Amino acid sequence: MYFKNLQIIFSFIICVSLVLSSPIEIQEETTESGSIQQLEPTEELQVVNDFLKITEFRGDDGIDSLLKVKGFNNDIEFINYMLKFHGYQNDTTFFINNENMACSAFQTPNESGDGFYFGKNFDFFGSNTVILTNYPDNSYSSISTVNTNFIGWIADLLTYEDLIRNYIFNQTVSLSIPDDILRIISLYTPVDGLNEKGLSISVNMLPDVEIVEQNVENNYNLTTLPIVRVLLDKAANVDEALEILKKTNYHPSFGINIHYLISDSNGKAVSVEYYEDKMMITETKVMTNHYLAEGMNNLGQYEEDKRLEIIEAMMSENPNMNAENVRDTLKASSQGMYTQWSIVYDQKNLEATYYLRSNFEQGYNIKLNIDKDNDYSDSDDETITISVDDDEIIGEDSADDNSDDEKTEVEYDN
């Protein structure tokens, strides 16, 4: 049942451009260490400046439906499913090409030690950034960041195999994505985020290894960036995030290997990495772009790359940081023109301050406004049952669900 098709979508572009041309209202606050603009996202994709847009989503974001069908092992089918959920037909091909991003991320206690910050640099080139606040009906609210250059669109309807062939051997021309579709796909392609429980996640690149393959029967099948959306929606802390990941087959988009830094408002922080068919969990507060799990011998670490050492040095100099210390640590570990955005996520006060393109004097602040109409945040008990543990819901259509056995195929460090 299709409600819209792409021809109708094209006619939306005009309205969207009108919306875009209306300037966003900005409150500015100047402090001695620079100025911070307060951003208020709305449903439209609003332009903040040449590299930054913001938007908000409210309603059913489809993650419960996705988990019910157990997800997809490739981005084409995943995005098709989500677009269809939002009423769009799939006679073209959308894909995610999260290539080559280098990033740094770390978690630190604040000055009194009872709150935590999560800092993140996203290092790439020429990124068009979308900050998206999500207030889903039956999941946790969150702030997340998207590099829209990772979202591709080809006019033909391709299978994943065809896409890889076309993309690699036959540079198929990509189309420019209409804003309303870009906004929907942005929901599912966060490279970092913070949810209303203070759970923070960063996706960081790893060196190429043999293609990671996980195929545990009856696990969810999820790809690199959609995993972040599922965790932001469904996990209140690191342990809940790991429970979900243990029931998930990780499928790296285009075979590009990444790892996740996941941290919570109690100060727990872990890396989750994959090698061959194994998932490895390591307690760590800092992550850049090499393996951290024991036994992986820092695979992917280059001697010239001092980012991890810089961050660790600043963390030991300042075991308790304020927001300026976090910003300065991001500045010290940034890669000049390659750093596309730097974020100070405040995991207790649920806000994010962004610095774009290494301009650390100009911040953009977004607050998660969770006292708006959202029942999910008030019902902690339901959370886990609906999303993670409830085989009655998730495994409805699978009689042979045996999650205990599944877990033995996953390996953990620590």
Ligand X SMILES: *[C@@H]1O[C@H](CO)[C@@H](O)[C@H](O)[C@H]1NC(C)=O
Residue among 319, 312, 357 at smallest CA distance from 128:
357
Is residue 159 a contact residue for ligand X (CB under 6 A)?
A: yes
* Window of 105-113, 230-238, 269-277, 365-373 that interacts with ligand X by CB under 6 A: 105-113
Distance CA 55, CA 198 (A): 20
Give residue for tokens 């469904």.
234
Determine contact, residues 207/257, Cβ cutoff 8 Å.
yes
Determine contact, residues 232/168, Cβ cutoff 8 Å.
no
Residues in Cβ contact with 344 at an 8 Å cutoff, skipping those fewer than 6 apart: 117, 118, 119, 323, 326, 327, 330, 352, 353
- Our CB check for ligand X shows the closer of 129 and 172 to be 172
Q: Output the smallest distance, CB 54 to ligand X, in A.
A: 24
Q: Please report how the helices 224-234 and 238-246 are oriented relative to each other, as an axis angle in degrees rounded to 10.
A: 130
Instruction: Work out which of 161, 348, 361, 382 binds ligand X, going by CB under 6 A.
Output: 348
- Our CB check for ligand X shows the closer of 124 and 160 to be 160
Instruction: Work out which of 35, 42, 266, 349 binds ligand X, going by CB under 6 A.
Output: 349
* Window of 3-11, 152-160, 309-317, 400-408 that interacts with ligand X by CB under 6 A: 152-160
Q: In what order do the strands lie in the sheet with 102-109?
A: 27-31, 34-38, 362-367, 351-356, 339-346, 116-123, 102-109, 286-287
- Our CB check for ligand X shows the closer of 18 and 155 to be 155
- Our CB check for ligand X shows the closer of 108 and 249 to be 249
Q: Output the smallest distance, CB 90 to ligand X, in A.
A: 4
Distance CA 359, CA 367 (A): 21
Give residue for tokens 């999303």.
387
Is residue 31 a contact residue for ligand X (CB under 6 A)?
A: no
* Window of 40-48, 73-81, 300-308, 369-377 that interacts with ligand X by CB under 6 A: 73-81
**Cα-trace Rg, the chain:** 20
Residues in Cβ contact with 100 at an 8 Å cutoff, skipping those fewer than 6 apart: 124, 205, 256
Vertex 7: Cα angle to 146 and 55 (nearest 5): 25
Is residue 267 a contact residue for ligand X (CB under 6 A)?
A: no
Distance CA 237, CA 242 (A): 9
- Our CB check for ligand X shows the closer of 243 and 277 to be 277
Is residue 221 a contact residue for ligand X (CB under 6 A)?
A: yes
Give the Å distances, CA to CA, from 241 to 138, 143, 209, 368, 379.
Answer: 17, 17, 25, 20, 18
- Our CB check for ligand X shows the closer of 72 and 124 to be 72
- Our CB check for ligand X shows the closer of 93 and 358 to be 93
Q: Output the smallest distance, CB 312 to ligand X, in A.
A: 22
Subset of residues 189 to 218 that bind ligand X, contact rule: CB under 6 A: 215
Residue 201 backbone dihedrals phi, psi, to 5 degrees: -135, 140
Instruction: Work out which of 53, 70, 183, 247 binds ligand X, going by CB under 6 A.
Output: 70
Is residue 90 a contact residue for ligand X (CB under 6 A)?
A: yes
Give residue for tokens 């004097």.
361
- Our CB check for ligand X shows the closer of 132 and 410 to be 410
Is residue 157 a contact residue for ligand X (CB under 6 A)?
A: yes
Is residue 133 a contact residue for ligand X (CB under 6 A)?
A: no
Q: Residues in contact with ligand X, total (CB under 6 A)?
A: 23
Instruction: Work out which of 25, 29, 156, 405 binds ligand X, going by CB under 6 A.
Output: 156
Is residue 353 a contact residue for ligand X (CB under 6 A)?
A: no
- Residues in the site for ligand X, rule: CB under 6 A? 70, 73, 76-77, 80, 90, 110-112, 114-115, 156-157, 159, 165-166, 170, 172, 215, 221, 249, 348-349
